[in-house]
Amino acid sequence: MTALLVRGGPRLKGRIEPSANKNAVLPVLCATLLSEAPITLRNVPEITDVQRIVTFFGELGSTVDWKPEDKLLHIDHSTIPVGAKATLPQAMRASIMMIPGLLARLGEARLEHEVKGCTLGAREIDPHVEVFRAFGAEVSHEGKNIVFRQNCKAEATRMWLEYASVTTTENFIISALTARGTSQIVNAACEPHVQELCSFLEKMGGKLMGKGTSMVGIEGTDRLTGVDYTFADDFHEIATFLALAAVTGGDIAVRNGRPDHFMLIDRTFEKFGAEVKHEDGWSRLVAPEKLVVKDNFTSHLTVKVEAAPWPYIPADLLPIFIALGVKAEGQVMFWNKVYEGGLTWHTELSLFGAHTLLCDPHRLITFGGDRLVPGTVTSPYIIRVAIALLMVAASIDGESTILDADPIRRAHPNFVPNIDALGVDVQWVD
């Protein structure tokens, strides 16, 4: 068990250069399998899932040169031998996004039944199976594995998703690039990391129509080129550092090349009395003297923060706003419309003295403004929850411990050194 020891209380101040978005890096890495040409990726974060994919590529026969200290990764899949077999790593949900590339390259991929990820609730693979079958793949159970086989050239198809799933959308787009003809996906996810995957594929020579919308067309091609690509800053991490400023009464500026993605995020900060300003490629939040929930014009209704697929507030950001909710004077309802297991951790907040009420698996009310006290809390295996607990601990005078905090490293390799540099004494302990 890895824990974080947090000595909170100081107002955090400084400037931060965020890392790349894990949710963009992983699908891009998976999509590199489509090309025979060398690929160079820059601003690659040193996180566990990247290491797992790099290891898998090496076992497959790819030539990989990763320089974590330089955030630089060179990949050449042309060295994969004919007849190579691939059983995908079970420890990460991103494994399922390597299936399109493996089907196009090897004609077969194997996936263990239980694919792990954050403990957010039921995360079925049926939508992915529907995508692969729509492009002509055969999917079957063989022992402990699910086996995917592509025995003929994939043909273009059109699919209307029941739900705007990010990974299902990404699997469809990657699969469509090697199909014969033009495919279309309706009710596509359009999160910034999905848009970034599309930008990467366009640089490789892919032709996509409707990027960033709910209806995307993809023209199949027989050749995708190499590319030199630099990942954008992670909007999750940018928002998180801004929230750290708000919750600790601090002043933090974060590099941000896409402030156009922040209009609704900015308005959500305003619900707690905090203002974000964007200028010259940086986003800055100077905390008010006190966080106070801004009343609705319709005064008898509780202020709400609703999380759903983009362009709503992302469910991944809901925990950081819950941290603001337990600090700010007033009541806020948080509505997670995506995951039924995304709010069960609220009981840990009571160990800090926070007052919360779980209405049902999807809705939580915070009653903020109470004096919080240091405590020892346990994080579920959810990245942003571990960060939210750390945020609350950082805002409290005294020493707190976050048990099972290791998920932070899955997405943010420099997060702890960064907040330490901003003024909070934080250290890993075993």
Q: Active-site positions?
A: 118
Residue 118 neighbours by CB under 8 Å, 6+ apart: 381, 382, 383, 407
Distance CA 277, CA 286 (A): 9
What single-letter amino acid sits at 260?
D
**CA 247/CA 365 separation, integer angstroms:** 18
Q: Name the pairing type of β-strands 39-42 and 72-76.
A: antiparallel
Tokens 């698996």 map to which residue?
361
The secondary structure of the chain, three-state, reads: CCEEEEEECCCCEEEECCCECHHHHHHHHHHHHHCCCCEEEECCCCCHHHHHHHHHHHHHCCEEEEEHHHCEEEEEHHHCCCCCCCECCCCCHHHHHHHHHHHHHHCEEEEECCCCCCCCCCCCCHHHHHHHHHCCCEEEEECCEEEEECCCCCECCEEECCCCCHHHHHHHHHHHCCCECEEEEECCCCCHHHHHHHHHHHHCCCEEECCCCCEEEEECCCCCCCEEEECCECHHHHHHHHHHHHHHCCEEEEECCCHHHHHHHHHHHHCCCCCEEEECCEEEEECCCCCECCCCCCCCCCEEEEECCCCCECHHHHHHHHHHHHHCEEEEEEEECCCCCCCCCHHHHHHHCCEEEEEECCEEEEEECCCCCCCEEECCCCHHHHHHHHHHHHCCCEEEEEECCCCHHHHCCCHHHHHHHHCCEEEEEC
* 8 A C-beta contact, residue 30 and residue 94: yes
Sheet holding 3-8, edge to edge: 376-378, 398-403, 3-8, 425-429
